[in-house]
Amino acid sequence: MADDDREISAAQVKAMLDNGEPLQLVDCREPLETDFVGIEGTLLVPVSELVNRLKELEPYREGQVVFFCHHGIRSLRIIPWLRQQGFSGALSMAGGIDNWSEEIDPTVQRYRFDFEGLSPLEASEDDPV
């Protein structure tokens, strides 16, 4: 795992998937972001919709469920709340999809910055949970 008991590294997630271990990946980014890039086979439940869509995660309550976002900030913030809701196996993928692209699958596009300052995609990373 990463430095925190709430996180798992991209390499660990990949190893679990390769070994056929039961694991559900959940992308908690917004649709605008997932339209740009995503990881195949993930479930999309944006942070902004999480409370209203929690029942969709019910099949994963007892299992391993790994949330990710762009850099792992939003996903890390929601793990304590998810654990309070009974998802004891909830983890955040450290570094998010950006880290997945760097370490696991370079075909997964990284966010682009076409102008000075933060792009709308990057700015959403700082939104409160």
Instruction: Map out the domains of the chain with their CATH numbers.
Output: 7-124 (3.40.250.10)
Residue 1's pLDDT is 47
Burial 107-118 (b: 16+ CB within 10 A, else e): eeeebeeeeeee
Residue 115's pLDDT is 44
Residue 127's pLDDT is 47
Task: Give the residue with greater pLDDT, 42 vs 126.
Answer: 42
Average pLDDT over the chain, rounded to an integer: 85
11 contacts: CB under 8 Å, gap ≥ 6: 103, 104
73 CB-contact burial (10 Å; exposed 0-12 / middle 13-18 / buried 19+): middle
Query: The whole model's pTM is what?
Result: 0.82
Residue 114's pLDDT is 52
Please state the rounded mean pLDDT for residues 15-37.
91
Place of tokens 């900030």: 73
Question: Is residue 117's pLDDT more than 70?
Answer: no
